[in-house]
Structure 1
Amino acid sequence: MNGVSDLREQAYWDDEIDLRQLVETLLRHKWVIVGLVVAATAVAGIYSYFILPPRYEAVMTVALPAADGADGIGMSVAAYDAFAGSNRVLSAVLARSGLDLTPRQLSDRLQRSVNANERLLTVTASAQTAGEAHRLTLMWREAFEAEVRAYVREQLDEALDAALRELERAREALSRAEAALVAFDRETPLGLLSARLARLETELAAAETELQRLQNVTIPLESVRVQLLEDMLAAEPGLASTSAYVDGLTRPLADDPAGVAAPLHPAAELASARARLETNQQAAELLQRRIEDLHERIAALNHEQTLLEKERQRLQDALDSAAARLRGASGRVAELEARAQQLEHLTQVRIVMDPFMPESPVAPRKMLNMALAAFLGLFAGVGFSLFHEFWRRTE
């Protein structure tokens, strides 16, 4: 049992890392490690100081133009940001600066960030010299403002041309609407139709009044008179052959609204009363037919008048709509002309933070590069030492 335990313990210690041997290994290869560290640091220093070109950055913050595109003039914040890095603006910067670059290469030197809430655009320009970086930001602002102004002017010109065409169409539409209304009033005299309708209504009222008088007064009285005379003759048959009637019947009936005098002979009076009754009944029938005819004619005229009034109202509405369209077009033209007068103000790119002249380059970061190279050299030296020791022991 003790022999087995000793073997296990020996295997355990063989598997463990001997720190003393590790340190001795590193010390034996110290000059290799130091040499790799120094060599890596030297190479990084030479590359950072003498080979890598310096890179300076200048930062400028500008306020975006007031033309925000709400009415089709200007752009949104996102559109301004995209426009700032467009080939149109970059080509204008190259034309001003004389740099021998392509728009794509210049775009790599100009980095942008936008603050939509504050409507601010920040541009960072990078170059090999501080002066060039500073000048690049200034030239970008000049080019950006000039191209924004030119773009907004194009928008204004297009919008003004469209507004002027709309104004001309609105004037033509108003002229047509006015002509249509005048022609309607000339060809369709609603005043005469209304007068005719009023005359028929007056005639209808008079006919209805006369019919009511006949039906409620005259015909009932004549009917009563006929009935009385018939009853009188039926009660005294001798009166039918009497040559003279009593003197009291020669007086007009006191309550007779027609003022008809009592005849001397009852039979003749009865015949006359029957004739008057028949005449009044025929007159009532004629009035009834006349009233019905007047109702039909008035209804037809009312229908015709309603249709004509609707048509005239439609023409009037068209005229009002054309007038409103003309007012809107005139207002749009006036608004665009006023905006054209304010073009410089609407497209001004105001500097919020001036670009400062950078005092030192932001790249290359020489000390950091050398420190990273030294660490990599140390790592490579330690690795080489351990690998060499392992190789030596396995031979």
Structure 2
Amino acid sequence: MAVAGAAAEGVGRAAGVGGGVEPLPQLQKWRIAVEEEIDLREYVEVLIRYWRWIVGLALVAAVTAFIVSLLLPPTYEASAVVIITQPRYQMQFDPRFEAVEEWTPAYKAFPTLAASDGVLQSVLETYTPSPEAHIEEWTLGTLSGMVEATSEGDPSLVVLKVRSRSSEDAAAIANVWADRFATLGNSIYGETAEDVAFFEGQVVQAEQALNEADAALIEFQARNQASIVNAQLKSCRQTQADYLADQRTIAYIVQDIQGLRDQLAQRPGDRPTSLADDLTALFLQVKAFNAQAAAPIQLQINSAESLSNKSLAEQIVFLDDLVNILQAKSSEIDERLAELEPQILALQEQLQEINTESDRLARARDLARETYMALARKLEEARIAAQEENRVLQVGSYAAVPEEPVSPRKLLNTAVAGTLGLMLGVFGVFAVEWWRGEEETGGQGDRER
């Protein structure tokens, strides 16, 4: 290809010098086509010429890799499987402790939790490797380099893999790891003995609070005077109602007396009163007396003559005296009502304080009882759940002692090394051939000059 390009350039220069004109378009196209042409025979000839070097380099690399694989110590891998399950049922003894209807596990968090420092640290404290594992320092960093937690494409599974130079240690570490991981996961996502202990402490405190509330309510009832105060208040209210009724009756009688007086004042004062006037005055007097008496008074009249033989002026004076007596009585009732009002207000206040304290103590007792019953039910629920065998995390399969090592893979290492050696040999001979071609082209150019 280089020779064809040089020939094309020579022809172009010759055409430009001899004719004094630019190269023809057809010549340019021919030159480009010659330069783009690839001759595979040159590459094949190079490979045939150096095939011994290529094959030799591949064999050396393969043999070296095989010998190194034989010298490397074997490494065993053991795998344990932890299954993520959902609870078959959810207990709910008390509706105030609402259970989750649809429980969705955090699948992505479980592999990370399995490889966390807390889980691995518990494995370190639980298991001690044997001398066959050739572990110089049993530390968290060493264990982290030996383990791997994956889901293997199924989020409901966590595969725990452990690699070690001892097959027994690899299986034992994987099994201990699975147990510790399942225990920690169930303590986070399920009911545990710690939850039972927590609710037991809460129940003890709630029972103590309930006993104190009951004692406070009993002590209050021993000094509760609500019925006494209520009876006193009813008596005062009844007295007040009676006074108001008497006062209203007196007002009506005064109005009637005033009407009769006005009627008598229209007549001559020296005339005697008639039987009707005497009866009306007597009726009003009796009515006024009945307003103050416990039993009504009844009169029986046998004669149609005048009862009092009074003149109209004397009857008017009598009526005025009766009005004054009734007004004095009304004023006395006002004073008694004024004295009775603060008593009623004080009794109402005292009764309200007693009722308020009673309600407060009753509410405290009811709340303490409800709290105690709810926690007692939750405690029983936690105890049953803690004894349930169906946990969120369960060890689905413990690791068996591996029989064959997973590394080094002698055949694979040998094949890979041979392939790399072959590729390196091919690239090497092409590089040598290119270098030699450049040197020959440079020497020929010097001879032409």
Relative to the length of structure 2, the TM-score reads 0.66
Verify: 1:125 aligned to 2:156, yes or no: no
Quote the RMSD (CA, aligned, Å). 4.5
Aligned to 1:110: 147
Separation (CA, whole Å) in 2 of partners of 1:30 and 1:115:
45
Q: Structure 1 residues 34-43 or 361-370, which shifts more?
A: 361-370
Query: Counterpart in 2 of 1:195?
Result: 231
Report the equivalent of 1:285. Answer: 331
Q: Counterparts in 2 of 1:296-311, with a 5 A limit?
A: 296-311=342-357
SS in 2 for 1:256: helix
Alignment match of 2:260 (pick from 225, 234, 259): 225
In the alignment, the residues of structure 2 paired with residue 311 and residue 206 of structure 1 have an alpha-carbon distance, to the nearest angstrom, of 32
Tell me which amino acid in the other structure corresponds to 1:256: F
Q: 2:369 matched to 1:323?
A: yes
The alpha-carbon distance between structure 1 residues 76 and 89, as it changes in their structure 2 partners (threshold 3 A), is farther
Contact 2:77 2:163 in 1 (8 A): yes
1:337-386 deviations in whole A, cap 9, x for unaligned? 5455x17x366964435656767554444444333322322232233323
Partner residue in 1 for 2:81: 61
| Structure holding more helix per residue | 1
Q: Quote the offset at 1:115 in angstroms.
A: 8.8
For residues 83 and 122 of structure 1, the distance between their equivalents in structure 2, rounded to whole angstroms, comes to: 10
For 1:41 and 1:381, how far apart are their aligned partners in 2? 13
Q: Deviation per CA, 1:223-242, whole angstroms, max 9, x where unpaired?
A: 233334433343xx3x4xxx
3-state SS of 2:232 partner: helix
Pairing 1:213–2:249 present? yes
- Correspondences of 1:1-395 after superposition (within 5 Å): 4=13, 19-48=40-69, 50-64=70-84, 78=109, 82=113, 86-91=119-124, 94-95=127-128, 101=135, 102=138, 103-114=140-151, 119-128=156-165, 133-134=170-171, 136-142=173-179, 156-157=193-194, 159=195, 162-216=198-252, 218-234=253-269, 237=270, 239=271, 248=275, 252-253=279-280, 256=283, 258=286, 262-266=307-311, 267-339=313-385, 342=387, 345=389, 350-353=394-397, 355=399, 361-393=405-437, 394=439
Instruction: Give distance in 2, aligned partners of 1:205 and 1:315.
Output: 34
Distance 1:16 1:336, change over 3 A: closer
Whether the 8 Å CA contact 1:130–1:358 is kept in 2: the answer is yes
SS at match of 1:232: coil
Quote the Cα distance in structure 1 between the aligned partners of 2:51 and 2:153: 58
**What is the CA–CA distance in structure 1 between the aligned matches of 2:424 and 2:151, rounded to whole Å?**
45
TM-score, with structure 1 as normaliser:
0.73
Deviation at 1:280, TM superposition (A): 1.0
Aligned residues: 377
The 1:215/1:114 distance shift into structure 2, 3 A limit, reads: farther
Specify whether residues 352 and 147 from structure 1 end up closer, same or farther in structure 2 by C-alpha distance, changes over 3 A only: closer
Task: Give deviations 1:13-60, integer Å, cap 9, x for gaps.
Answer: 799776444433333322112211221122223233x12344444433
Distance 2:322 2:152 in 1: 105
**Distance (whole Å) between structure 2 residues aligned to residue 115 and residue 26 of structure 1:** 45
1:264 match: secondary structure: coil
Contact 1:90-1:107 at 8 Å conserved across structures: no
- Measured in 2, the distance between the counterparts of 1:392 and 1:251 equals 166
3-state DSSP class of the match of 1:317? helix
2:266 aligned counterpart, secondary structure: helix
**Could you tell me how far apart the structure 2 residues matched to 1:247 and 1:2 are?**
173
Quick one: structure 1 residues 319 and 17, their matched pair in 2 at CA, closer, same or farther if it must change by over 3 Å?
Answer: same
Give unmatched runs, 5+ long, in structure 2: 1-9, 17-26, 92-96, 98-104, 287-297, 300-305, 441-449
Paired residues of 2:111 and 2:150 also in contact (CA < 8 A): no
- Does the 8 Å CA contact 1:53/1:128 hold for their aligned counterparts? yes
